[in-house]
Amino acid sequence: MSVYKVIELVGTSPESWEKAANNAVETASKSLRDLRIAEVVKLDMQIEDGKVIGFRVRLNVSFKYHVKD
């Protein structure tokens, strides 16, 4: 049996939602082990002077919980 923890992450990118999500997962993977699932919860954009200047993705990410013996 396994136990998983779910956390919320927000990724950003000036280019796309996909790159924002990828940025969040890649950054989290540097400090978390066994990332399993990322679920997109919310998408939004930053607008300045009537133009889109950034993309944000809110993700729920799960990773396997390891217990030290």
CATH of the domain at 57: 3.30.1660.10
Buried b (16+ CB within 10 A) or exposed e, 1-25: eeeeeeeebebebeeebeebbebbb
Residue 9: give the domain boundaries.
4-64
Which position has the higher pLDDT, 43 or 69?
A: 43
Q: What is the pLDDT of residues 12-22, one digit of tens each?
A: 999 999 999 99
pLDDT attached to residue 69: 67
pLDDT attached to residue 68: 77
Query: Quick check: is 15 in a domain?
Result: yes
The total number of structural domains that make up the chain: 1
Q: What is the pLDDT of residues 26-68, one digit of tens each?
A: 999 999 988 999 999 999 999 999 999 999 999 999 998 877 7
Query: Quick check: is 18 in a domain?
Result: yes
CB-neighbour burial class of residue 59 (10 A; exposed 0-12, middle 13-18, buried 19+): buried
